[in-house]
Amino acid sequence: MRILAPLFLSLVATFDVHAQVTITPLVPTSADMVLVHVVLDSCQVRTQSHSVSGNSVTVTIFNDGPSFLPNPPCVAIEPVGPLPAGTYTFVVFVRPGIDPVATIPVSVTPTNNFSPPPCLATFDAGGCVFVSPHTPTPGQPVEVAIVVTSLPSDACIQGVTNSVVGNTVAISGTYMHCGGSFPEAPVTFLYTSLQPLPAGRYTVQFTAVPDPPNGWPFGINGEFRGPISIATTLEVFATTPPPANYQGLWWNSPPGSESGWGISLAHQGDVIFAVLFAYDINGRALWLSMTAPKTSDVYDTYTGTLFQTNGPPFDAVPFPPTDSPGGATSSGVATATLTFIDANNAVLETAIFHGLTSWRPITLQAFGPMPTCTFGAQPNLTLATNYQDLWWTAPPGSESGWGVNLAHQGDVIFATWLTYDHDRAPLWLSAVAPKIAPGVYSGTIFRTSQSLPEAGAPFFLGSFDSTRIVRTRVGSLTLAFANGNSAAFTYTVDAVTQTKQITRQVFRAPGTVCH
């Protein structure tokens, strides 16, 4: 798709037969030199120059050399900048003419301008709208990236404007058939900037209507292309908001669309410890883990290496800690990136096993009243009354290599136990544990697998069929909490019963609590 947006992209403006003007690059940043190309039918260039006054750039080409004979055409190129981030008006004169031959608005983005994450069809039928920062304060300008996925490849969007009416930010433009007459390379997204907004919650709505207004021609499959409308929400905080915290259990978006796999996040400070619960190529339960530091402030982006861990069976006594004789060992198998669109939506990108890459929209899994999690809100973890976190054996590190993720909503805990089978292969088990007494939760343990031929999905084959998930009852568990940082984890699996004392795994003091 080619997008022709006067706010940012290269414009071609032919005002008469004597000059044609283009500006490159298509999306300049404050680190780029902006090149003004002036195509002259008859070349008699004597001098050329430019001046910058505020947000106005004047380029002057003196095409008044001494020759009175027709000359061959040429291109005069005037370099400008780099310019500070902002919106500029480029006015181009070709002397001895009096009137400008082109007036072109160009927006220069900051060098740290965000690249929007993958636009996945489930976010919106026609594309995606992303804002940065996604939790601004009233004094901050807001950058908007618009990704349009529903236009034919030869379509151009032009005349993009934005306005604020009440709590709606309206960004609009028109699209039409370009016919291959524009020289720029295809662009899949466009940018625009908003002035600082008052505190409040806004709908950011992008609309592109067809030009002519009676609609787009029928496509090759007979479809009729009408207006495009895509949107997102933006909340402007009156004061600097607390850092977002994403601790909890996430799964595919929309909810329930790929039931059977998930990713649990323990979020402390600027680090997320993530455990991905999926399946191997034979359909066996597989968990992968990563420590993912924050890598970008534009969106909250966290990146790390996914490790596959093999270790002692879940019922081993004693259970040797990681890297000790007989303990768990790990090897990196992939990279993963979590890009958070807002507090409840993110993109999970994985490049896993032999270079296969996949993107999944994910959202928090809600099965009860959703808690709010905050890093450092309660330094004394024993006082916490919500148990949502990553837990491991007490004392900390004594049996490193296994753990249990607890998602706690209302009076129900969903537990995912990351451990190992008797062949040392990674194994995860899960349980829904309702509250049965003060501080006590109990439920049935299930082993989950995936039947062929869909084994290996979603991250191996790129598809996922929830109907092929097989859940087998294998035992029971009870969690008895002495306080917010200490519990007895009692389980029976395959006729083996054990009790382990567990505590929260704190990898960034003082840890995260939910309420």
Instruction: Write the DSSP string, 187-212.
Output: -SEEEEEE----SEEEEEEEEEEESS
Tokens of 412: 């129900």
What's the alpha-carbon Rg for the chain, to the nearest Å? 29
- Among the residue ranges 147-161, 249-263, 398-412, 414-428, the one predicted with the least confidence is 147-161
Show the CA angle centred on residue 183, arms to residues 179 and 185, nearest 5°.
100
From the centroid of its chain, how far is CA 11?
A: 30
Does the pLDDT of residue 165 top 50, yes or no? yes
Q: How far apart are CA 287 and CA 451, in angstroms?
A: 17
Q: How far apart are CA 470 and CA 258, in angstroms?
A: 14
Q: How far apart are CA 233 and CA 134, in angstroms?
A: 9
Q: Which helix (H) or strand (E) holds 399?
A: none
Q: Which has more pLDDT, 427 or 208?
A: 427
Mode of pairing for the β-strands spanning 74-80 and 155-165: unpaired
Q: pLDDT tens-digit profile of 324-348? A: 999 999 999 888 999 888 888 898 9
Our CA dihedral for 359, 365, 370, 376, rounded to 10 degrees, sits at: -50
Residue 383: how many other CB atoms lie within 10 Å: 11
Q: How many CA atoms lie within 13 A of 328 on its CB side?
A: 27
Q: How confident is the model at residue 160 (pLDDT cuts 50, 70, 90)?
A: confident
Does the pLDDT of residue 473 top 60, yes or no? yes
User: Following DSSP, what letter does each residue of 238-261 receive, concatenated?
Assistant: SSPPPPP---EEEEESSTTTTTT-
Does the bond joining 25 to the residue before it have cis omega, within 30 degrees of 0?
yes
Burial class, 144, CB count within 10 angstroms (exposed 0-12 / middle 13-18 / buried 19+): buried
pLDDT reported for residue 4:
35
Q: How far apart are CA 1 and CA 506, in angstroms?
A: 47
Most confident of 10-19, 151-160, 405-414: 405-414
Closest CA to 234 of 133, 320, 166, 311: 133
Tokens of 366: 């809600």
Q: Which has more pLDDT, 256 or 111?
A: 256
Q: Please answer whether residues 312 and 320 qualify as being in contact, where contact means their C-beta atoms are separated by less than 8 angstroms.
A: yes
Closest CA to 74 of 41, 97, 96: 41
Q: How far apart are CA 373 and CA 515, in angstroms?
A: 6
User: Following DSSP, what letter does each residue of 25-40 receive, concatenated?
Assistant: SSS-BTTSPEEEEEEE
- Among the residue ranges 38-47, 126-135, 454-463, the one predicted with the least confidence is 454-463
Does the pLDDT of residue 395 top 70, yes or no? yes
Q: How far apart are CA 347 and CA 128, in angstroms?
A: 12
Q: 99 Cβ partners below 8 Å, 6+ apart?
A: none
pLDDT reported for residue 204:
92
What's this model's pTM, rounded to 2 decimal places? 0.72
| Segment 249-253 mean pLDDT | 95
| Segment 178-196 mean pLDDT | 57
Q: How many CA atoms lie within 13 A of 2 on its CB side?
A: 17
3-state secondary structure of 20: strand
**Strand ranges (E), 109-195:** 127-132, 142-148, 155-165, 168-177, 189-194
Mean pLDDT of the chain: 83
pLDDT reported for residue 323:
87
User: What residue type is assigned to position 148 of the chain?
Assistant: V
